Amino acid sequence: MGSEEMADFLFVGLIVLPAGLFAAGYLMVAFCVFFLLLIGGCLSGTGPWEPDNARAEAGRDPDSEVP
């Protein structure tokens, strides 16, 4: 599971798990889990930096109007 998939997994958990805990009456646990998953999702989504020349090798967009 790459960093993008992990971030998606954590953000889906961010929606589902605290909502279930909140509905069950565990308010403080829901807030703690919410903030932990939020921080984890944001940090896991930061991948390696991609230099600009790697984008140039990917190819030019035929629909773009920039020559």
pLDDT (mean) for 37-59: 68
> Which of 15-19, 23-27, 34-38, 49-53 has the weakest average pLDDT?
49-53
Please check whether residue 32 lies inside any domain of the structure.
yes
DSSP symbol at 45: T
Q: How many domains does the structure of the chain reveal? A: 1
Q: Is residue 39 within 8 Å of residue 9, measured between CB atoms? A: no
| Mean pLDDT to the nearest integer, 46-64 | 59
How far is CA 24 from each of CA 13, 29, 31, rounded to the nearest angstrom?
A: 16, 10, 13
Q: Give residue 22's domain range.
A: 3-44
33-45 confidence digits (pLDDT tens): 999 988 888 888 6
- State residue 41's pLDDT score: 84
Q: Residue 24 falls within a domain, yes or no?
A: yes
pLDDT of residue 10: 86
